[in-house]
Amino acid sequence: MKYFFIFSTILVLFTSFAAPKFKTVNITKEISVTLPQDFGVMPDDVIATKYPSPRKPLAAYTSPNRLVDFVVTERPSMFHKDDLKMVQQFYKTSINSKYSDVKFIREEISKIKKQDFVIFEFTSTVRDEDRKTNRLAPIRRYTIVQYAVYNEKLYIFTINVPIDLKPAWEKSATQIMESIKVG
């Protein structure tokens, strides 16, 4: 019985850290990404709750437990593809204003599959600072967000992971974001 318990524990540990299998998903005719096979399309009610916005995302996918999300948004761009330094400054300010605390891990402009992206990788905390009593626990996340200007539109690709899942998801999140193809 003792050996069965030890074997079961080891088996669960090894299978829970297995790398996910991936599939290519076409977001549009010109945009694709490689996501874990078990990711599904995020239902509209979940999108409305987790990502309230007047504009629905171009695409939103989530893990089976709905903890890890990949979201693509599109908007008309006031920026040109040569304005990425300005995009970087603008959205760094925007990111800093959205959260109570932000720690940037990576902040760069890089080419991925022939497309230039502004890339931010960071951890964030949102604290319930409005209430005097009964404050909610802070929400902590690990996020990679990439901005691309293409055909006069700004595309924003985001992967959100709860901070406690960061060690298990960091490699896969980077792999997903490096698989994005625009154009």
- What tokens appear for 9 in the block? 């524990």
- Tell me how long the chain is: 183
Give the chain's domain count: 1
Rounded CA separation 43/128 (Å): 27
Q: Are 39 and 63 in contact (CB under 8 A)?
A: yes
Residue 8 located in a structural domain: no
CATH number of the domain residue 56 falls in: 3.40.1000.10
Residue 92 located in a structural domain: yes
**pLDDT band, residue 7 (cuts 50/70/90):** very low
pTM of the model: 0.85
Q: For residue 49, what are the CA distances in angstroms to 11, 98, 118, 129, 142?
A: 36, 17, 27, 20, 19
Residue 11 located in a structural domain: no
What spatial distance separates the first Cα and last Cα of the chain, rounded to whole Å?
58
Domain span at 72: 20-182
Residue 110 located in a structural domain: yes
**pLDDT band, residue 9 (cuts 50/70/90):** very low
pLDDT tens profile 62-114: 999 999 999 999 999 999 889 999 999 999 999 999 988 999 999 999 999 99
